Structures are given as C-alpha cells and as structure tokens.
Amino acid sequence: MTNLVDTAEVQQLLDKVAGGGQSGGDPRVKAVVRRVAQDMMRIIEDFDVQPDEFWSAVAYITRLGQANEAGLLVPGLGIETFLDLRLDAAERQAGIEGGTPRTIEGPLYIAGAPLSKGEARLDDGSEQGEVLVMHGQVRDMDGRPVAGAVVDVWHANTKGGYSFFDPSQPKYNLRRRIEADAEGRYRFRSILPAGYACPPEGATQALLNQLGRHGNRPAHIHFFVSANGYRHLTTQINIEGDAYLHDDFAFATRDDLIPPVTRVEDAGRIHAQGLNAPFAEIAFDFVLHAETQAAPTTIVQRPHAQAA
Ligand SMILES: [Fe+2]
C-alpha cells in the first residue's frame, strides 16, 4: 500500500485544513487540529479503513454526543485517568508527593449543593439502605488541620443512580457541601451507595461490547476538597468488598482510596445515631498540599450540569 499521508499533496491538504497561511485563528488550535486530522488519515491508511467503517464511526460519534455520553466514554477509554497521571507526574516534578491521591471526577457532578457547617445528612430518609456515617479531618502535609475546608460530596443511591440525572430522586439528593470545623473535621450521614454500570443500550456500552469489556463501576463516593491556599483535590473513595473494586471500567480505583468499612453494632452508638440497627462507618482523612505555582492548577474548568 502506498503511503499517501506523507505525500506533498496530502501534507498541503492538511496545511489548508488547519488554516496554515491564514492570519486569523488560534495557532495552538491549528497545530492540534492538523495533528488530529493527520493522525486520523494515518489510522485510515494503516488499518486500511474502508468507507463504510469510517462512516459507521462518524455515526457513532454523533450518537455518543446526542446521548450526552462523551463524558462517560472518556474515562472508559482511560483518558481521564491519563490526565490524572499527567498531573501526578507534574506534581512529582515540582516536589509535591504524598497526601490524598486524586482520581477522576466523572461526568455527574452538580455544582451548588447545600452547604452546612461541620456535618450534614445527605439522604432524605426516603430510601431504605444501610446507613453510612463517614467522618474525618482535613489536614495539610504538616498534619495541621485545615479549618473551613469545604468537602463537596456526591454519590449514587442504592440503585446506582445520581440525583439530577435520575429524575426519581429529589433535588441535590446525596449531594452536599460540608464546611470543616476549626479542627478541620467533617462528618456526614448517608446511605451506602451501590455500584453502577453504563446504560446497557447506550453508545459507551456499545463500544465496550466491541472490546469485550463490561461497563461497571464499583460503589464509590466522590469528593472535591478545597480550601484557600491549598491545591484543590478531586477524588473518590471506594466501598471495600465490591466485586468490581479492582475492575472499574473507568479506572478510578487507587490503593489509598479504599478505607475500611466498619459495622457498628454497639447498642449505645446505634441509639446515639437515632437508629435501631447496625450501621456502616468510614473514617477517612483528606490531606491537602499547599497551593504552588510550580505545578499546573488542579482546578479543572469543565462544563457541569446545573440544578434548576
Ligand atoms: Fe460516580
């Protein structure tokens, strides 16, 4: 097969595609688009992609966007994890190591959850699930409490659905922001989430099927932890014991993010919670790094759905 991509004709075509010689536009965008177009041509050439295969891929991208699943496919292809690995590497180069590991945000965050001081209850009591009490301290790398740090927490319900995206749940269900107290302590009561899977008939799962992969995530709880003067932390904890704990389709599990889940059976403590059955407890501290200009920002601007 001839190599067409490297011919003068195709290289000149790519120059025109990317606005080469045009004074307007953004040079960085031009360079990236030229590379994307060239790499696509190279894939077509290297794999001898036939026109019907190519147009089926175009139709796939269209379907992915129409279903609002692009943000689901990205972690499934390991790209969101790759962005985390890049940030980890940049931080190591700047001498930033240790602290609570980051992991992917995923596509289901909603800004503006109710804010409370010190503690919160995330569920509204309408769902029968195992009660979870999670608490801990936000500290810096020297072990000092980060007073007033905001723990922004969101998780799925017992069926693996998230409020806003799952219309059966009330607004901001299982989503809260908790301002840590003077000792950096936070605490919340909720219900243990279940794992979940990509929509089985959706575009993401359709591609995973072609790869022979499942689309399951182990049960987890998402966090943003932020405080003035500290690097913003995006992370999750996993619920131990989940069958998919180390087989997450989104590649978000990290070793230091699997805290033990304790079953509290002490009658006094059960009673103190206003409960009449044992409950689950997770103790987990968040350790933040001081902000620095030596590494790229950890505050990621990406579009988020807004609760009405
Ligand atoms: Fe999630």
Q: Residue 248 Cα, ligand 1 centroid: separation in angstroms?
A: 11
Q: What is the pLDDT of residue 304?
A: 85
pLDDT by 10s per residue, the chain, length 308: 579 999 999 999 999 999 999 999 999 999 999 999 999 999 999 999 999 999 999 999 999 999 999 999 999 999 999 999 999 999 999 999 999 999 999 999 999 999 999 999 999 999 999 999 999 999 999 999 999 999 999 999 999 999 999 999 999 999 999 999 999 999 999 999 999 999 999 999 999 999 999 999 999 999 999 999 999 999 999 999 999 999 999 999 999 999 999 999 999 999 998 899 999 999 999 999 999 999 999 998 988 877 76
Q: What is the pLDDT of residue 261?
A: 97
Q: What is the pLDDT of residue 307?
A: 74
Which amino acid would we find at residue 44? I
Q: In what order do the strands lie in the sheet with 233-238?
A: 115-117, 175-179, 150-155, 220-226, 233-238
Q: Residue 107 Cα, ligand 1 centroid: separation in angstroms?
A: 8
Residues in the chain: 308
Q: Residue 238 Cα, ligand 1 centroid: separation in angstroms?
A: 10
Q: Indicate if the alpha-carbon torsion angle 247, 250, 255, 261 is positive or negative.
A: negative
Q: Residue 103 Cα, ligand 1 centroid: separation in angstroms?
A: 11
Q: Residue 266 Cα, ligand 1 centroid: separation in angstroms?
A: 31
Query: Encoding tokens for residue 100?
Result: 């609570």
Question: Where in the chain do CATH 2.60.130.10 domains reside?
Answer: 72-306
Q: Residue 50 Cα, ligand 1 centroid: separation in angstroms?
A: 37
Name the superfamily (CATH) of residues 72-306: Aromatic compound dioxygenase (2.60.130.10)
* Helix orientation angle between 51-66 and 203-211, rounded to the nearest 10 degrees: 140
Q: What is the pLDDT of residue 156?
A: 98
For tokens 């069926």, what's the residue? Answer: 159
Q: Residue 219 Cα, ligand 1 centroid: separation in angstroms?
A: 8
For tokens 């972690």, what's the residue? Answer: 75
Distance (Å, rounded) from C-alpha 270 to C-alpha 131?
10
Q: Residue 293 Cα, ligand 1 centroid: separation in angstroms?
A: 30
Q: Residue 108 Cα, ligand 1 centroid: separation in angstroms?
A: 7
Q: Residue 90 Cα, ligand 1 centroid: separation in angstroms?
A: 26
Query: Encoding tokens for residue 113?
Result: 């959850």
Q: Residue 267 Cα, ligand 1 centroid: separation in angstroms?
A: 33
Neighbour tally for 3: CB within 10 Å: 10
Q: What is the pLDDT of residue 1?
A: 58
Cross-strand pairs, 111: 306
Compute CA distances 55 → 37, 51, 61, 138, 300, whole Å: 15, 6, 10, 51, 33
Distance (Å, rounded) from C-alpha 25 to C-alpha 203?
33
Residues 47-80 pLDDT 10s: 999 999 999 999 999 999 999 999 999 999 999 9
Q: Residue 228 Cα, ligand 1 centroid: separation in angstroms?
A: 26
Q: Residue 58 Cα, ligand 1 centroid: separation in angstroms?
A: 28
Q: Residue 222 Cα, ligand 1 centroid: separation in angstroms?
A: 6
